[in-house]
């Protein structure tokens, strides 16, 4: 359901570049109480069966199971909330999606992103999580993504997408088809410049280079 919902938000010439979630610490901290409660209830049921031999065992199990449903349902709800909270980078924008049934979608156009700040504590560096703060020129002003998993990769993917958008790199897929024999050397030089700037990966550079060379 989550993936199909994301795909419904993507425009015709838009493609998903990176998908991230909050670190698993967020999930563990949310379900810790529920897991502890489940273990306590199970232990209580076992002790009741052992210490109260005259009490109907079936009744003890039924009561224990009924009480057990409360933390189990709460834990499943927390897991669903975590699973449906996603941060997506496309070639045009950054999207934040939250909510299980009622969805909250916030997006920032890459061309309006003014600055990106990342902060990691010592523990965050060890377990690879951190906060990403996006400063934009939109009316939202600041988007803060807290305890995101692998924040360095997320920040790099977003900055590369922004650089590519600003340099016109998203339109390279149209250029080989319209390139002429005389324009190929100039286009190859531009591609190499984009590769050196980190806008294009080596694989993308080689792919576009091969397409252009077929025009010679």
Q: Are residues 90 and 150 in the same domain?
A: yes
For residues 65 and 108, state if they share a domain.
no
Last residue of a domain, which of 151, 166, 181?
166
Q: Are 149 and 21 in contact (CB under 8 A)?
A: yes
Contact 111, 165 (CB under 8 A): yes
DSSP string, 99-131: -SSS-EEEEEEGGGEEEEEEE--HHHHHHTEEE
Tokens of 98: 């939250």
What is this structure's pTM?
Answer: 0.68
One domain, residues 185 and 136: no
pLDDT-flagged residues of the chain (< 50): 171-177
Do 138 and 181 fall within a single domain?
A: no
* Tokens (6 digits) for 158: 């977003």
Query: In this predicted structure, what is the pLDDT of residue 183?
Result: 67
Instruction: Please give the Cα distance from 165 to 133 (Å, whole number).
Output: 20
- Confidence (pLDDT) at 177: 47
Return d(Cα 115, Cα 117) in angstroms, integer. 7
**Quick one: pLDDT at residue 148?**
93
Domain interval for residue 97: 2-22+85-166
For residues 94 and 165, the answer to whether their CB atoms sit within 8 Å is no
Name the strand (E) or helix (H) holding 193.
helix 184-196
Is the sign of the CA dihedral 46, 48, 49, 50 positive or negative? Answer: positive
- State whether 161 and 173 are in the same domain: no
Matching residue, tokens 């993308």: 204
Cα(30)–Cα(32) distance, rounded to whole angstroms?
6
Count of structural domains within the chain: 3
Last residue of one domain, picked from the residues 82, 101, 122: 82
C-alpha span between 33 and 22 (Å, rounded): 19
Q: What is the CATH number of the domain that holds 130?
A: 2.30.29.30
Give the tokens for residue 195: 């590769």
* 162 and 132 within one domain: yes
pLDDT tens for 80-96 read: 999 999 999 998 889 99
Same domain, 52 and 117: no
What pLDDT does 174 receive? 41
């Amino acid at each position: 359901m989550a993936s199909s919902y994301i795909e419904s938000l993507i425009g015709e010439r838009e493609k998903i570049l990176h998908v991230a979630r909050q670190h698993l610490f967020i999930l563990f901290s949310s379900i810790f109480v529920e897991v502890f409660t489940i273990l306590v209830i199970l232990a209580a049921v076992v002790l009741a069966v052992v210490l109260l031999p005259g009490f109907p065992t079936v009744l003890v199990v039924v009561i224990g199971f009924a009480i057990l449903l409360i933390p189990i349902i709460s834990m499943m709800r927390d897991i669903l909330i975590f699973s449906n909270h996603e941060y997506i980078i496309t070639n045009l924008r950054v999207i934040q999606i939250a909510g299980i049934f009622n969805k909250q979608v916030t997006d920032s156009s890459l061309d309006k992103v003014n600055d990106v700040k990342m902060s990691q504590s010592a523990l965050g560096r060890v377990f690879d999580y951190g906060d990403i703060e996006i400063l934009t020129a939109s009316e939202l002003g600041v988007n803060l993504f807290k305890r995101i998993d692998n924040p360095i990769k997320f920040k790099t993917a977003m900055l590369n997408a922004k650089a590519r958008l600003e340099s016109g790199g998203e339109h390279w897929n149209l250029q080989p088809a319209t390139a002429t024999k005389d324009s190929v050397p100039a286009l190859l030089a531009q591609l190499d410049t984009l590769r050196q700037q980190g806008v294009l990966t080596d694989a993308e550079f080689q792919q576009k280079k091969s397409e252009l060379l077929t025009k010679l």
